Structure 1
Amino acid sequence: MIEEGTGFYAVPSSVKVVVLAAGNAGRKVLLGLNGRGEWELPGGWPDKQDVTLADTAAREVLEESGIVLDNDPVLVGAELFSPVPGRQVTLVCLATRLDIAETPTPSSEHKDVRWFGVDVLPANLPLVYRGFIDGAARQQARTR
Structure 2
Amino acid sequence: MAQPDYVPRAFPVSIKGVVVRDGKVLLLKNERDEWELPGGRIEPGETPEECVAREITEEAQWAVRTGPILDSWMYHIATVGKDVFIVTYGCYPNTVAEPVLSHEHREVGLFAEHEVPALTMPAGYKRSIATWFAHLREGAPELAG
Q: Normalised by the shorter chain, which TM-score bucket?
A: 0.7 to 0.9
Q: When the two structures are aligned, how many residues end up with a matched partner?
A: 133
CA contact (8 A) 1:33 1:113 kept: yes
| In structure 2, distance between residues paired with 1:48 and 1:21 | 30
Distance in 2 separating the partners of 1:101 and 1:19: 13
Q: 1:143 aligns with which of 116, 136, 139?
A: 139
The one-letter code sitting in structure 1 at the alignment partner of 2:58 is E
Q: Distance in 1 between matches of 2:25 and 2:51?
A: 19
- For 1:99 and 1:14, the matched residues in 2 are separated by 22
Corresponding letter in the other structure for 1:75? I
Gaps of at least 5 residues in structure 2 are: 1-5, 141-145
Structure 1 residue identity aligned to 2:72: A
Contact 1:28–1:101 (CA<8 Å) still a contact in 2? no
SS of the counterpart of 2:120? coil
For residues 29 and 8 of structure 1, the distance between their equivalents in structure 2, rounded to whole angstroms, comes to: 37
Partner of 2:13: 13
Kept after mapping to 2: 8 A contact 1:17/1:42: yes
CA distance in 1, matches of 2:8, 2:44: 23
Instruction: Find runs of 4+ consecutive structure 1 residues off by over 6 angstroms.
Output: none
- The answer to whether the 8 A contact 1:15-1:57 is kept is yes
Q: Which runs of 5 or more residues in structure 1 are unaligned?
A: 1-5
1:38 aligns with 2:34: yes
Structure ranking higher in helix proportion: 2
Equivalent residue number for residue 102 of structure 1: 97
Larger-Rg structure: 2
Deviation at 1:137, TM superposition (A): 1.1
> How far does the alpha carbon of each residue in 1:43-71 deviate from its partner, in whole angstroms, 9 at most, with x for none?
00001242x111000110001001111x2
Q: Give 2:130's aligned residue.
A: 134
Residue of structure 2 in register with 1:3 after alignment: none
Partner secondary structure for residue 16 of structure 1: strand
TM-score (norm: length of structure 1): 0.84
The residue that corresponds to 1:59 in the other structure is 54
* Same amino acid, percent of matched pairs: 28
Q: Could you say what the CA RMSD is over the residues aligned between the two structures, in angstroms?
A: 1.8
TM-score, structure 2 length as denominator? 0.83
